[in-house]
Structure 1
């Protein structure tokens, strides 16, 4: 199966040599989907008769060029290698759909050296992706190189080529009983950690080797090493380690590393605990022990108040009663405030995207999406009522403490609080797992974790948070 070296998730700043055109014109929504495309690891192997029959048939129906040349035994071995490449490619394509994060797009390296020592060799993958493209089994978005000198035209960072399964490929797979929903039962996936533990996105550029970036790398590596010493058990959830992601690095020369900074668990698929709901996360066990999840209530709003030198009232719910007494009223008010933080300015209208996003959130919380009607909640009324409760929100989008701040600034402060808490707990031998604005710890360490999180929040902001604890026996 080749050497033990794995094709880890490397930076997205190199591209196929044959694709020299700059990035094609695409919409903002298409760009967001392409940016979220997972890297093809091409290490999935068949774990069912259906998978073996599927890859064998596809390999024969869409053969590699010059496949008929050479001696019989060599042709047979080559066909097996090619079928393995086809299977690994198809498995990654279906898994990208199953993950439901990139509209099915998959990121693929077209650098030959990236396949040295890998389960799937370059010539086999190259043949498979060309055969599939010509047959209409995949659509692709060509990659492009970044600039190599400042005077060169084009973007500073390149993009890997993206591929996505077409309806024809999905139909061929379904005919063998292999679908995105069951691909992980049909194929065995070997999950890998990214080689870069500190990543830059929005835009996605290669992480520079600076002193500050290295300090962050060491910190994340220490957290990963420490947690690996503990046993996490759950029927479907897996955790290999965390990657810290920063945003808005438009100028690496002046970037201050203070935008974003959350820890993201890998693998980034359906096995990721951060993608599951709270009840499912509380089914996890750390070293055989029940866990609890400590949530920072109204995290962004509390940090925003602190920037304005105010303490948010922790004795009352920050969202209840703004619009009315019902849970739907509360959810609308909460969404408007947090979406305004994400928007950079206070929201003034229900766009299609906001409406769709909110209805999806309602569904995840067990509230019928059809219960919400934009006409019953005009933005003008929401804004008026929200400002009556939280008049400081009128300052959002304006200068605060000398500069205009945005969502990435809020996220950075929050991430610093969470990570400082994890580091403090690690020093006391306590493992923890972040979920952005909450922290999961062994149930026996609840009091210690609550005290530590509260202390770190106050140390970073000057105010105290409202913390709520969810326990398995609450569900």
Structure 2
């Protein structure tokens, strides 16, 4: 076992630690149903493999499916292989999380391409394993509100057959999603919903924003590694956005996801350019506590998190205060935040710090442990939509990072004015906005 926590060394010998199984999850990218490959030689190598798999599948029928159904099944085979090929170009140890549980897959039909039926997806994944092209690296599981999908990878034989040595991650692109308004259930799984005038309007607005982003060159002026410079949820370059609502309610959540820049680590984002121009990132200072102060008729502090004692000159403690505060807002009861808290360095336990955060906001009674954070996300995401649409009307792309926005540096003053105006129109106060310049 590597990366041993210091606490283990207090109770176990080095030999005992070495015998412990590694309980960490296998690093995986999410399965991307809209993935495409733009590499002539690799596509030429893939075609006969797909034909052979299709012929093997057809042997199980007395009456063969028609050409349309065959095309749908081959589409499932192709997108499964493309996902597994792409992660192999990033890192040999990277896998893809792929679900084969019919219940969740049925609930997700709205969010997949038309060709990808549950039956064909499950059968295609099974066939790829039977033919020795794909192997399961780790089985999926779900317990106590936490779950992981099964992790899969290509076999070495498949890597040779598919000419993987000649392709790169940049040869893959992700197409536009058919559905950009997503609803999740209470366990965080995508679920069905019926359209309303509200969801239709949100979808129309998002497609306007995505049309603008599709024609925008969003790049970095420095090199970046997928497994180092991005967070664990990064799974490739894409620009189109979608909104995610939570707990089967369109009153909860609604934030914008999907843009690759949202997964870039904080030190990488200053290197983002928009159509070759340097950018700035404007950020609402302590957005959720600021909203709560305003809704309670209280003046918004310049930095709401500074009310927590001891964080004024400690950026790490401020980050812990922010994540703990937001986790307490989102939780229905309690939270495990702050995580990775160095008790020795900070002179207190994580539990004591959590209580310090709770005690710092007596002027906002009853806000913790009620799950209201999801409702605040609906409010802040609606403000984000207004801000982005303002600039879309002028042909100016804006990149959302939840409570901050990246824009070409020439438009920074207008961005700040619009952010202030949208917040003031809703809450009657002016929040503090911080500005991070490009590198």
Instruction: Return the TM-score normalized by structure 1.
Output: 0.62
| Superposition RMSD in Å | 4.9
What is the deviation of 1:341? 1.6
Whether 2:190 is the aligned partner of 1:215: answer no
Maintained 8 Å contact 1:38/1:96 = no
Structure 1 unpaired stretches of 5+: 1-29, 68-80, 143-161, 250-254, 267-271, 360-368, 399-403
Query: Which residue in 2 is equivalent to 1:290?
Result: 278
Whether 2:427 is the aligned partner of 1:427: answer no
Q: Give, in whole Å, the separation in 2 of the partners of 1:176 and 1:231.
A: 34
What is the deviation of 1:379? 4.2
2:37 counterpart (40, 44, 64):
44
Query: Which residue in 2 is equivalent to 1:93?
Result: 84
Q: Give, in whole Å, the separation in 2 of the partners of 1:342 and 1:285.
A: 33
Number of matched pairs: 370
What is the deviation of 1:446? 0.7
Maintained 8 Å contact 1:243/1:264 = yes
- Taking structure 1 as reference, are residues 319 and 469 closer, same or farther at Cα in structure 2, changes over 3 Å only? farther
* Corresponding residue SS for 2:396: coil
Query: Which residue in 2 is equivalent to 1:318?
Result: 306
Whether 2:423 is the aligned partner of 1:452: answer no
1:46-445 correspondence runs (5 A): 64=56, 88-93=79-84, 95=86, 104-105=97-98, 128-134=124-130, 137-139=134-136, 164-166=150-152, 169-170=154-155, 172=157, 185=168, 188-202=171-185, 204-234=190-220, 238-249=237-248, 257-266=250-259, 272-314=260-302, 318=306, 321-322=309-310, 325-345=313-333, 347=335, 350=336, 354=337, 358-359=339-340, 371=342, 376-397=347-368, 406-445=372-411
* Corresponding residue SS for 2:258: strand
1:401-426 Cα distance to aligned partner (Å, 9 max, x none)? xxx65221111111112111122233
Q: Give, in whole Å, the separation in 1 of the partners of 2:157 and 2:313.
A: 52
- Taking structure 1 as reference, are residues 164 and 461 closer, same or farther at Cα in structure 2, changes over 3 Å only? same
* Corresponding residue SS for 1:318: helix
What is the deviation of 1:450? 0.4
- Taking structure 1 as reference, are residues 83 and 200 closer, same or farther at Cα in structure 2, changes over 3 Å only? closer
Q: Give, in whole Å, the separation in 1 of the partners of 2:371 and 2:253.
A: 12
1:215-242 Cα distance to aligned partner (Å, 9 max, x none)? 1112212222344454434478844422
Q: Give, in whole Å, the separation in 1 of the partners of 2:374 and 2:119.
A: 42
- Taking structure 1 as reference, are residues 183 and 315 closer, same or farther at Cα in structure 2, changes over 3 Å only? farther
Structure 2 unpaired stretches of 5+: 1-24, 60-71, 141-147, 225-235
Q: Give, in whole Å, the separation in 2 of the partners of 1:163 and 1:314.
A: 43
* Corresponding residue SS for 2:306: coil
Q: Give, in whole Å, the separation in 2 of the partners of 1:442 and 1:125.
A: 42
What is the deviation of 1:275? 0.8
What is the deviation of 1:297? 1.6
Query: Which residue in 1 is equivalent to 2:433?
Result: 467
Maintained 8 Å contact 1:62/1:135 = no
What is the deviation of 1:46? 5.5
